Amino acid sequence: MLSPEKELVTILRNSGVDLACTLPCDRIKGLIALLEEEYRKPPLHHIPLTREEEGVGICAGAALAGRRPAMFLQNSGIGNMLNALLSLTGFYQLPLALFISHRGVYKEKIAAQVPMGEKVPGILKGAGIPHSVISTREELRGIGKKLDALYKKGTIHAFLLSPAVWETGGECRVPVPLAAKGGPVCTLPSPPQEGRMRPRCTRYEVLETVAPLLEGSIVVCNLGVPSKELFHLGHRSSYFYMLGSMGMATPIGLGIALSTEREVVVIDGDGSLLMNPGSLATAAYCAPDNLTILAIDNSAYGSTGNQPTFSGTCVDLERIAQGFGIRRTCKAAGKRQLIAAIRGRHAGLRFIHCLAVPGNRDVPNIPLHHLDIRKQVQEFLAGASPAEK
């Protein structure tokens, strides 16, 4: 029996879909890997995205040129693209097929997926975007007809892909392409190192190294596996674990840093920073003295299966931070450099570009309720100021 992923890609090809823009979700990693393989050669095209909104623009341009574009994303990404969908694709009546991994409603283990997952059908309805729920093979087979109609009419249609559909038999055997073993691009080695720095630690090892140095600081930790790993290494009430809202670690940390005298450390990721790089400009503009952004760059969307990000091929995050105006930047590739970077006396906003090798530690979900996480951090912030301690 064909895997559901293979059957869907066959339907796409039969309907003339020639452009696939993707941003990973764990539940569709097999589908994205298959698209990458099958859409490798022109006239077909696969484009990995940094933020869903840019995909809307790319697809609109492609549709203007007569192509049949489709996007593959998690339902949370709808929140990142609604304006572009309505004021560009919808306004100009361009065709766009949205294949949305529908989280939060079926065998969901991550509570933060629930609000967006439950509301997304209503959000689509409110936005006037028709949608179909796809949870069985039969529903999957009905996609072709709808695709033909939307490309003919120049409309948007959303297919909400329930995780149940991937359980309808036949395993997708395409291996998920993993981030390059060589790790992130480094075109700007910080003195005294010469030449290309090589990452040596996984994210877990990075967190293990820095955790003892984080006592007393408010820590905002990136969503997904980074937060779970940090919790596993030892919980502190000063840790704000993100359970959703990809791309928001630096903005959250900036907001806190501007509101307290305490040291604030943001643990961000390359995928998340690439989704919202403008947050570095805002941080540089505000430049709070007490903010450190520790970007753990494993050149991968680690939490969703280590799909490569552009930091493994063409982007140097330290240069990005510098270009946005952050003056104090450095690179760290091993434990000693990392400790020196974190301990280093400083005044002003810092950006530490920590090179890491891809890989996740197998750790359980965080057992805390999100409101308890908030309460603990609020109470920590409301406690004695560092000067009074």
272 touches ligand TPP by CB under 6 A:
yes
- Beta partners for 328? 350
22 touches ligand TPP by CB under 6 A:
no
Tell me, residue by residue from 83 to 112, as one string, x for binding to ligand TPP by CB under 6 A and - for no binding: ------------------------------
77 touches ligand TPP by CB under 6 A:
yes
Place of tokens 């991968």: 300
222 touches ligand TPP by CB under 6 A:
yes
Closest to ligand TPP by CB, 146 vs 361, is 361
Tell me, residue by residue from 229 to 248, as one string, x for binding to ligand TPP by CB under 6 A and - for no binding: -----------------x--
Question: Which segments of 127-202 does DSSP mark as H helices, in order?
Answer: 137-141, 143-153
Q: Which of 279, 303, 329, 337 binds ligand TPP (CB under 6 A)?
A: 303
- Compute how many residues bind ligand TPP; rule: CB under 6 A: 26
Residue of this chain nearest to ligand TPP (CB atom): 269
Please name the helix (run of DSSP H) or strand (run of DSSP E) that holds residue 126, with its range, or none.
Answer: helix 114-126
4 touches ligand TPP by CB under 6 A:
no
CB-side neighbour CA atoms (13 Å) of 125: 7
Rounded to 10 degrees, the C-alpha dihedral 316/318/320/323 comes to -130
Dihedral sign, Cα of residue 366, residue 367, residue 372, residue 378: negative
Tell me, residue by residue from 176 to 215, as one string, x for binding to ligand TPP by CB under 6 A and - for no binding: ---------------------------x------------
Judge contact between 310 and 297, C-beta under 8 A: no
CA distance 285 to 279: 10
Residue numbers 132-171 binding ligand TPP by CB under 6 A: none
5 touches ligand TPP by CB under 6 A:
no
Judge contact between 201 and 335, C-beta under 8 A: yes
> Angle 278-286/249-257 helices, nearest 10 degrees?
10
What does the binding site for ligand TPP look like in residue numbers (CB under 6 A)? Answer: 23-25, 74, 76-77, 80, 203, 222-226, 246, 269-272, 296, 298, 300-304, 309
